[in-house]
Amino acid sequence: MSQTLWRRAGLTLATGALAVTGVLSSAPTASAAPADDAAGWLASELRGGLMVNDQFDFDDYGLTADAGFALIEVGGKARKVKQVRQALAANVDSWTTGVDFGSDDVYAGSVAKALTFATEAPRARPRSFGGVDLVERLEARVSDTGRLADSGTPDYANTIGQAFAVRGLHAAGSGEAAAATSFLLQQQCREGYFRLSFSDPDATDQGCDAAGGEADLDVTALALLNLQAVDGPTRAVKRATAAGLAWVADQQRRNGSFVGTGPTAVPNTNSTGLAAWALGQAGRCRPAAAAAGWVRGFQLANGAIAYDRPSYRAALGDGVTPQTRDQFRRATAQAAPGLEYLRVKACRA
């Protein structure tokens, strides 16, 4: 695997792609706890606390963290979360730096996700996670303007990493949290959505409107989830969150689904699951329940969630192949927490 792909694997909550083995079959069951079923399947996919990509022979730290976040959110898997924490801590340098490639590069987005995980996982220590002070490592990647940047070239830092940085730095009580938050809010366009890519570092105006940023449902939902986790939000954060939630709600289709951007611009469980999670967490229960209900229609008997209708139908006939398991893992990690909002009453509770 190339260094570029390795770096991206460390951060990205991917939307479509590769993967793996085992057989899934049959239509959705009548389980009273679809979110628990999804979490159970995710937990069963962990090997020594890690998501291991057998097809391309690498430990996927970013996807491991995504699974860990989902297990924490759904609850009931404390032993597995502990294993994830221990495994990620043991590999924190491989995840967040270029040490395995003989470089001193630091991947800001991966550090941001690692810090956020270390502030969320029970008994994790953000300032000594696998012996690394993640707060210090991330603060060194935040510029005077609050913009996140990789150490080394090219720079892959983007709004997803920025959102995790905001959450992690606030949770750790960092003095860089305010600047990072200010820069994140600049990535929101007047319509309410957040873009993925930053402007050129030399651009006078670093805001979304100046650059005409493309709307991105997944990025917007992730930004909202991280902003909602900030304690004592400012008025600016509250306004940004309200505008973002309104934009997300407006994107919902009549059947409850959402579409992503570019190659994911079809109804899919990654985008819809994230939207359900963000809306439900904000107490927007009816659209959250509608989105969760749509996702539920793509859950297999063992709890795994298919990415879209073609992948669901293929799994019913052929099971999950070495080429599709990664996609199932990613879809399930992003969609599982959203299933908690299947019922409006549960959301309101």
**Residuewise pLDDT in 10s, the chain (349 residues):** 333 333 444 454 433 332 222 333 333 333 449 999 999 999 999 999 999 998 899 999 999 999 999 999 999 999 999 999 999 999 999 999 999 999 999 999 999 999 999 999 999 999 999 999 999 999 999 999 999 999 997 999 999 999 999 999 999 999 999 999 999 999 999 999 999 999 999 999 999 998 878 999 999 999 999 999 999 999 999 999 999 999 999 999 999 999 999 888 999 999 999 999 999 999 999 999 999 999 999 999 999 999 999 999 999 988 878 889 999 999 999 999 999 999 887 787 6
Q: How far apart are CA 160 and CA 176, in angstroms?
A: 17
200 token code pair: 């050129």
19 token code pair: 């993967």
Q: Does domain 3-348 have CATH number 3.40.50.300?
A: no
Closest Cα partner for 111 from 91, 137, 81, 85? 137
The 8-class DSSP code of residue 50 comes to B
Q: How far apart are CA 99 and CA 160, in angstroms?
A: 23
The position carrying tokens 């909202």 is 224
Cα angle 207-209-212, degrees, rounded to a multiple of 5: 110
Whether the Cβ atoms of residue 270 and residue 260 lie closer than 8 Å to each other: yes
pTM to 2 decimal places? 0.91
Pairing between strand 52-53 and 58-59? antiparallel
Angle separating helix axes 269-281 and 217-228, nearest 10 degrees: 30
Q: How far apart are CA 8 and CA 14, in angstroms?
A: 9
Q: How far apart are CA 63 and CA 17, in angstroms?
A: 12
232 token code pair: 């004592």
Whether the Cβ atoms of residue 117 and residue 87 lie closer than 8 Å to each other: no
The strand pairing partners of 50, in sequence order, are 47
